[in-house]
Protein backbone atom coordinates (compact mmCIF):
# COMPACT_ATOMS: atom_id res chain seq x y z
CA UNK A 1 0.00 0.00 0.00
CA UNK A 2 1.28 3.47 -0.85
CA UNK A 3 2.18 5.92 1.88
CA UNK A 4 -0.11 9.00 2.00
CA UNK A 5 2.66 10.91 3.81
CA UNK A 6 5.20 10.43 1.00
CA UNK A 7 6.23 13.57 -0.84
CA UNK A 8 7.91 11.70 -3.69
CA UNK A 9 4.75 9.72 -4.55
CA UNK A 10 3.20 12.23 -6.94
CA UNK A 11 -0.15 10.40 -6.82
CA UNK A 12 -0.53 11.89 -3.32
CA UNK A 13 -0.69 15.37 -4.81
CA UNK A 14 -3.30 17.02 -7.05
CA UNK A 15 -6.76 18.28 -6.19
CA UNK A 16 -7.23 19.14 -2.55
CA UNK A 17 -9.66 19.33 0.31
CA UNK A 18 -8.98 22.73 1.76
CA UNK A 19 -9.49 25.34 4.38
CA UNK A 20 -9.53 28.71 2.64
CA UNK A 21 -9.06 31.73 4.89
CA UNK A 22 -9.68 35.30 3.78
CA UNK A 23 -7.01 37.32 5.53
CA UNK A 24 -8.89 40.61 5.30
CA UNK A 25 -5.91 42.66 4.14
CA UNK A 26 -3.06 42.52 1.66
CA UNK A 27 -0.21 43.08 4.08
CA UNK A 28 2.67 40.64 4.53
CA UNK A 29 2.60 41.05 8.31
CA UNK A 30 -1.05 39.96 8.56
CA UNK A 31 -0.48 37.05 6.19
CA UNK A 32 2.60 35.96 8.19
CA UNK A 33 0.69 36.04 11.47
CA UNK A 34 -2.07 33.92 9.95
CA UNK A 35 0.38 31.49 8.32
CA UNK A 36 2.22 30.91 11.61
CA UNK A 37 -1.02 30.45 13.54
CA UNK A 38 -2.44 28.06 10.92
CA UNK A 39 0.70 25.90 10.74
CA UNK A 40 0.68 25.62 14.54
CA UNK A 41 -3.07 24.97 14.85
CA UNK A 42 -2.92 22.18 12.26
CA UNK A 43 0.12 20.60 13.92
CA UNK A 44 2.00 20.44 10.62
CA UNK A 45 5.30 18.58 10.73
CA UNK A 46 8.06 20.28 8.80
CA UNK A 47 7.99 23.06 6.26
CA UNK A 48 9.37 22.29 2.81
CA UNK A 49 9.42 23.76 -0.66
CA UNK A 50 9.65 20.69 -2.90
CA UNK A 51 7.15 17.89 -3.43
CA UNK A 52 9.56 15.69 -5.42
CA UNK A 53 11.91 15.06 -2.48
CA UNK A 54 11.08 13.40 0.83
CA UNK A 55 11.42 15.60 3.92
CA UNK A 56 14.63 13.83 4.96
CA UNK A 57 16.11 14.53 1.49
CA UNK A 58 15.70 18.31 1.63
CA UNK A 59 16.32 21.18 3.99
CA UNK A 60 13.42 22.70 5.83
CA UNK A 61 12.48 26.19 4.72
CA UNK A 62 11.24 28.93 7.04
CA UNK A 63 7.47 29.08 7.42
CA UNK A 64 7.37 32.61 6.08
CA UNK A 65 5.59 34.67 3.47
CA UNK A 66 8.97 34.98 1.71
CA UNK A 67 9.24 31.17 1.45
CA UNK A 68 5.62 30.95 0.34
CA UNK A 69 6.37 33.48 -2.39
CA UNK A 70 9.58 31.72 -3.43
CA UNK A 71 8.17 28.18 -3.63
CA UNK A 72 4.51 28.89 -4.41
CA UNK A 73 3.43 26.40 -1.74
CA UNK A 74 4.72 25.35 1.64
CA UNK A 75 4.50 21.61 2.20
CA UNK A 76 4.47 19.40 5.25
CA UNK A 77 2.84 16.40 6.86
CA UNK A 78 -0.18 16.42 9.14
CA UNK A 79 -2.04 13.83 11.19
CA UNK A 80 -5.69 13.40 10.26
CA UNK A 81 -8.32 12.86 12.98
CA UNK A 82 -8.21 9.17 12.01
CA UNK A 83 -4.56 9.05 13.10
CA UNK A 84 -3.17 8.68 9.57
CA UNK A 85 -0.22 10.91 8.59
CA UNK A 86 -0.63 12.58 5.17
CA UNK A 87 1.01 15.23 3.02
CA UNK A 88 -0.41 18.73 3.19
CA UNK A 89 0.29 22.14 1.79
CA UNK A 90 -0.44 25.81 1.98
CA UNK A 91 -0.64 28.46 -0.72
CA UNK A 92 -1.45 32.15 -0.76
CA UNK A 93 -3.70 33.91 -3.23
CA UNK A 94 -2.69 37.54 -3.15
CA UNK A 95 -5.49 39.99 -3.89
CA UNK A 96 -3.42 43.07 -4.62
CA UNK A 97 -5.31 46.34 -4.79
CA UNK A 98 -8.58 44.71 -5.89
CA UNK A 99 -9.32 42.30 -3.02
CA UNK A 100 -7.94 40.80 0.15
CA UNK A 101 -5.45 37.95 0.41
CA UNK A 102 -6.40 34.32 0.98
CA UNK A 103 -4.40 31.57 2.66
CA UNK A 104 -5.33 28.03 1.57
CA UNK A 105 -4.37 25.01 3.67
CA UNK A 106 -5.04 21.72 1.88
CA UNK A 107 -4.73 17.97 2.04
CA UNK A 108 -4.57 16.52 -1.48
CA UNK A 109 -7.29 14.03 -2.38
CA UNK A 110 -4.69 11.47 -3.49
CA UNK A 111 -3.38 11.36 0.08
CA UNK A 112 -6.94 11.21 1.46
CA UNK A 113 -7.68 8.26 -0.84
CA UNK A 114 -4.64 6.36 0.44
CA UNK A 115 -5.58 7.21 4.03
CA UNK A 116 -9.01 5.65 3.47
CA UNK A 117 -11.00 8.87 3.87
CA UNK A 118 -14.34 8.72 2.08
CA UNK A 119 -15.21 12.14 0.69
CA UNK A 120 -17.18 11.46 -2.47
CA UNK A 121 -20.57 9.77 -2.81
CA UNK A 122 -21.17 10.40 -6.50
CA UNK A 123 -22.62 13.87 -5.94
CA UNK A 124 -21.21 16.88 -7.83
CA UNK A 125 -19.19 18.17 -4.86
CA UNK A 126 -16.94 16.37 -2.40
CA UNK A 127 -17.98 16.24 1.26
CA UNK A 128 -16.51 14.53 4.30
CA UNK A 129 -17.95 15.27 7.74
CA UNK A 130 -14.69 14.06 9.33
CA UNK A 131 -12.50 16.37 7.25
CA UNK A 132 -14.98 19.27 7.37
CA UNK A 133 -15.07 19.14 11.18
CA UNK A 134 -11.29 18.76 11.42
CA UNK A 135 -10.61 21.72 9.12
CA UNK A 136 -13.24 23.83 10.91
CA UNK A 137 -11.50 23.03 14.21
CA UNK A 138 -8.16 24.13 12.73
CA UNK A 139 -9.82 27.36 11.59
CA UNK A 140 -11.23 28.03 15.06
CA UNK A 141 -7.83 27.44 16.71
CA UNK A 142 -6.16 29.66 14.10
CA UNK A 143 -8.72 32.41 14.69
CA UNK A 144 -7.82 32.51 18.41
CA UNK A 145 -4.25 33.50 17.49
CA UNK A 146 -4.89 35.45 14.29
CA UNK A 147 -8.42 36.71 13.64
CA UNK A 148 -9.52 36.65 10.00
CA UNK A 149 -12.49 37.74 7.90
CA UNK A 150 -13.83 34.43 6.56
CA UNK A 151 -13.00 30.73 6.57
CA UNK A 152 -14.45 28.13 4.23
CA UNK A 153 -13.86 24.41 3.80
CA UNK A 154 -14.38 22.14 0.82
CA UNK A 155 -12.87 20.63 -2.26
CA UNK A 156 -10.85 22.58 -4.78
CA UNK A 157 -9.56 21.49 -8.14
CA UNK A 158 -5.84 21.98 -8.60
CA UNK A 159 -5.41 23.13 -4.96
CA UNK A 160 -5.84 26.77 -5.92
CA UNK A 161 -8.99 26.91 -8.00
CA UNK A 162 -11.94 28.60 -6.33
CA UNK A 163 -14.33 25.69 -6.85
CA UNK A 164 -17.05 25.12 -4.27
CA UNK A 165 -15.96 26.07 -0.80
CA UNK A 166 -18.36 25.93 2.08
CA UNK A 167 -18.65 28.51 4.89
CA UNK A 168 -17.55 27.48 8.35
CA UNK A 169 -20.39 27.79 10.81
CA UNK A 170 -19.45 28.88 14.30
Segment 116-161, tens digit of pLDDT: 888 766 666 677 888 989 999 999 999 999 999 899 988 765 543 3
pTM, two decimal places: 0.87
Quick one: DSSP state of residue 160?
T
Handedness of CA 63, 66, 70, 72 (dihedral sign): positive
How are beta strands 150-156 and 16-22 bridged, if at all?
Answer: antiparallel
| Contact between 76 and 47 (Cβ < 8 Å) | yes
Which pLDDT tens digit goes with each residue over 47-68?
999 999 999 999 999 999 999 9
**What is the pLDDT at residue 35?**
96
Element (H, E) at 32: helix 28-42
The angle, 0 to 180 degrees and rounded to 10, between the axes of the packed helices 129-145 and 28-42 is 130
Residue 95's pLDDT band (boundaries 50, 70, 90)? confident
Amino acid sequence: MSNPASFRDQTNWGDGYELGIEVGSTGDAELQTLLSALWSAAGVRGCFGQSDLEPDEQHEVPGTVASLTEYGHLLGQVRLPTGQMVVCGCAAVRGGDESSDWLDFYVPTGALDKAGIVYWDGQPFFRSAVIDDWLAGIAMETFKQAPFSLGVVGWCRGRLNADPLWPIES
